[in-house]
Amino acid sequence: MKNRIRPPVKIDEKGRVIRHPGVRAHSWRLNIPASVTGLKKERKFFASESEAKTYAEGLLAARADAGQDIVKRLRARGMSVTEALEYALKHSPTKGSCTIENACLAYVASRKDDNRKPSYLDNLTSQFRQIEEEFGAEAMVDTVKKKQIETFLKGLTGKDGDAPATPKSRINYIITLSALFNFAVEEGWRGENPAAKIRRPKRDEVLAAILVPKEVKQLLEEARKSSFADIFPAILIQMFAGTRRSEIPHIHWDWIRDQYLRLEKTKIRKKRAVDLSDALLEWLAPFRERSGPIFAPEGVTFDAMDTRGIENAYTYRLSQVAEAAKVTLPKNVLRHTAITYRDALTGDLAGTASWAGNSVKVIEEHYRGAARKADALQFYAIKP
């Protein structure tokens, strides 16, 4: 009998049903069907028949009231009960849940299978450690709510542990969390992504820091000394061709073909041809007969999947050059300098974006206007 409760029955001291009407009951048992509880059937025991009946009547009345309230609330949202049920089924787990720790491990393994770089996997693992600490490694992944994520993001701090995290850091965590919960949805561990509708904080757009022509001259004059012969060509490539630091370990001399540098390994894993300026071709002329990598520090093993050792060696040697030249080098300043002056000289947003391996939006927001054409002409006039 759907949504109904059968009358209570008499039970003896051993818990058996008393079927003879003349025998006195030890207690009264009420069987409540799953259609009433909403989960599974239940049994409850009472001292008297009247108590059992009163409880059953109250349960059915409360259920009816709750049902009417639900219908009213759904109507206010323009939904029917059927639509609400369909929504609930669509957004509920299909394969049972999974702990946050196991979900994180599975996601990292899936990214590794996608041939992601070790540096990316290390960063992902680091973020997941903090996420597991916040929500509980053993907590189920389908229990995390949007409000919890927002609280976590508000509490993030910078590297010093005191100052609030930057908008960029928060955005990075939102991206990671959204990817993790999308993965959980795909695996059937939860029905929806609680991070999908979290607003990303606004970032103040700033122009890239660059070197003025005078600083470029100072740096190159120092870098061309014999004590920095190992890194000088790599500095030239970054300064005038705008390559990324992560691309330096992969660049070989035979990638330079006529007036182009053909980058076979890039950050976004798309090959690109970089046309080389006359100034750079003059600087590189004495080295054109070389072969092998343009930067190969001694004692550092090259690993095509994890080139951080070579990147770190390059950064260290570059800092030594800068210190000797008495020039301050903000992060990625050589690449930023190259891109800024190229855009200032050509005025070609799309061409500069393709040349740098960036989007037009990035060039417009971060590089356009950071230098004048007159500055660019001075920059490209710097030759051996």
State residue 91's pLDDT score.
63
Tens of pLDDT along 52-91?
898 888 878 777 777 777 777 877 878 776 776 666 666 6
Q: pLDDT exceeding 70 applies to what percent of the chain?
A: 95
Q: Which two tokens stand for residue 149?
A: 């994520």
- Which whole number is the average pLDDT over 290-300? 90
Write down the pLDDT at residue 294. Answer: 93
**pLDDT exceeds 80 at position 203:** no
Contact 270, 287 (CB under 8 A): no
Span 156-174, average pLDDT: 86
- Determine the average pLDDT of the residues in 174-197: 92
| Cut 0.75: pTM above it | no
Report which of 190, 104, 183, 194 is spatially closest to residue 147, judged by C-alpha positions: 194
Q: For residue 118, what are the contacts with CB-CB under 8 A and spacing of at least 6?
A: 305, 306, 308
Residues 314-373: pLDDT tens digits?
A: 999 999 999 999 999 999 999 999 999 999 999 999 999 999 999 999 999 889 999 999
Contact of 190 with 93, CB cutoff 8 Å = yes
Residues 288 and 284: their CA atoms lie apart, in Å, by: 6
CB 347 within 8 A of CB 185: no
112: which residues sit within 8 A by CB, 6+ positions away?
Answer: 121
Query: Does the CA dihedral 175-176-180-186 come out positive or negative?
Result: positive
Sheet holding 256-257, edge to edge: 256-257, 260-263, 272-275
pLDDT class for 1, splitting at 50, 70, 90? very low
- Tell whether the model's pLDDT for residue 22 goes beyond 90: no
- In 226-305, at which residue ranges do the beta strands (DSSP E only) sit? 256-257, 260-263, 272-275
144-153: long-range contacts, CB 8 A cutoff, minimum separation 24:
144/100, 144/181, 144/194, 145/194, 146/194, 146/195, 146/197, 146/198, 148/194, 149/177, 149/194, 149/195, 149/198, 150/198, 153/198
C-alpha dihedral (59, 61, 64, 66), degrees to nearest 10: -70
Read off the pLDDT band of 208 (50, 70, 90).
confident
Of 53-67, 121-135, 295-309, which one has max mean pLDDT? 121-135
Tokens encoding 134? 């916040």
Which residues have C-beta within 8 Å of that of residue 83, sequence separation ≥ 6? Answer: 74
Q: Which residues pair with 262 in a beta bridge?
A: 273
Residues contacting residue 150 through CB under 8 Å, at least 6 positions apart:
198
What pLDDT, in 10s, does the model give residues 219-254?
999 999 999 999 999 999 999 999 999 999 999 999
Amino acid at 285: A
Closest CA to 240 of 351, 356, 364: 356
Is the dihedral angle over the CA atoms 42, 46, 51, 52 positive or is it negative? positive
User: Around Cβ 4, how many Cβ atoms within 10 Å?
Assistant: 10
Q: Which of 26-35, 42-51, 64-73, 290-299 has the lowest mean pLDDT?
A: 64-73
Exposed, middle or buried: residue 131 (CB in 10 Å: 0-12, 13-18, 19+)? buried
Q: Which of 320, 339, 220, 223 is nearest to 274 (CA)?
A: 339
32 pLDDT higher than 90 = no
